[in-house]
């Protein structure tokens, strides 16, 4: 097991705090951070929707196109879209990059997000 991240009943479904209280985030037009997050989220949804409902696909093939099957396959484009969204959220907290934070946490334990 080592230092791997673990999920349990106490922590698995905790809400991850966003940089702003709910419904108080600045509008996209006023905040580059909000716009970057929103753009990355919209792109993720666009890509997933295109995979789930491609034009001209046979009904029997369409039944196989579920989010579960997509995430089990985890194509590179999906991983890249999630990585972009993760980076957008991470930088909204003031971090340099997710990769940097992960490397630092592996080197010396968990790093407080405010100090990343």
Question: At residue 115, does pLDDT exceed 60?
Answer: no
pLDDT given at position 9: 53
Ordered DSSP codes for 24-40 = -PPPGGG-HHHHHHHHH
Quick one: DSSP state of residue 98? H
Q: Are 59 and 7 in contact (CB under 8 A)?
A: no
Cα(96)–Cα(82) distance, integer angstroms: 17
Task: Taking residues 63-83, report their average pLDDT.
Answer: 95
Q: Which of 66, 74, 116 is nearest to 95 (CA)?
A: 116
pLDDT band, very low/low/confident/very high, at 114 (cuts 50, 70, 90): very low
Task: Please name the helix (run of DSSP H) or strand (run of DSSP E) that holds residue 104, with its range, or none.
Answer: helix 98-108
Structure confidence at residue 62 (pLDDT): 95
- Please give the backbone phi and psi of residue 13, each rounded to the nearest 5 degrees, phi first: -110, 15
Residue 67 lies in a domain: yes
pLDDT, position 71: 94
The total of structural domains in the chain comes to 1
Is residue 20 assigned to a domain? no
Cβ(100)–Cβ(93) below 8 Å = no
Residue numbers of the domain that contains 91: 31-115
- 14 within some domain: no
Per-residue confidence (pLDDT) for residue 113, from 0 to 100: 44
In a domain, 102, yes or no: yes
For residue 18, what is the DSSP state?
Answer: P
Q: pLDDT per residue over 2-61, tens digit each?
A: 666 665 555 554 555 667 777 888 888 998 888 998 999 999 999 999 999 999 999 999
Residue 25 lies in a domain: no
Please tell me which residue, 113 or 58, carries the higher pLDDT value.
Answer: 58
The reply to whether 42 falls in a domain is yes
Which sign does the torsion angle of CA 78, 84, 88, 93 carry?
positive
pLDDT at 34: 86
Report yes or no on 106 lying in a domain.
Answer: yes
């Amino acid at each position: 097991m080592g230092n791997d991240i673990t999920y349990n009943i106490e922590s698995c479904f905790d809400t991850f705090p966003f940089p702003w209280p709910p419904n108080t985030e600045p509008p996209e037009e006023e905040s580059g951070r909000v716009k970057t997050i929103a753009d990355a989220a919209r792109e993720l949804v666009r890509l997933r929707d295109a995979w789930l409902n491609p034009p001209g696909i046979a009904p029997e093939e369409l039944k196989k196109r579920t989010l579960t099957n997509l995430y089990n396959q985890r194509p590179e484009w999906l991983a890249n879209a999630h990585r972009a969204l993760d980076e957008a959220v991470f930088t909204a907290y003031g971090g340099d990059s997710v990769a940097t934070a992960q490397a630092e946490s592996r080197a010396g334990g968990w790093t407080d997000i405010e100090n990343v």
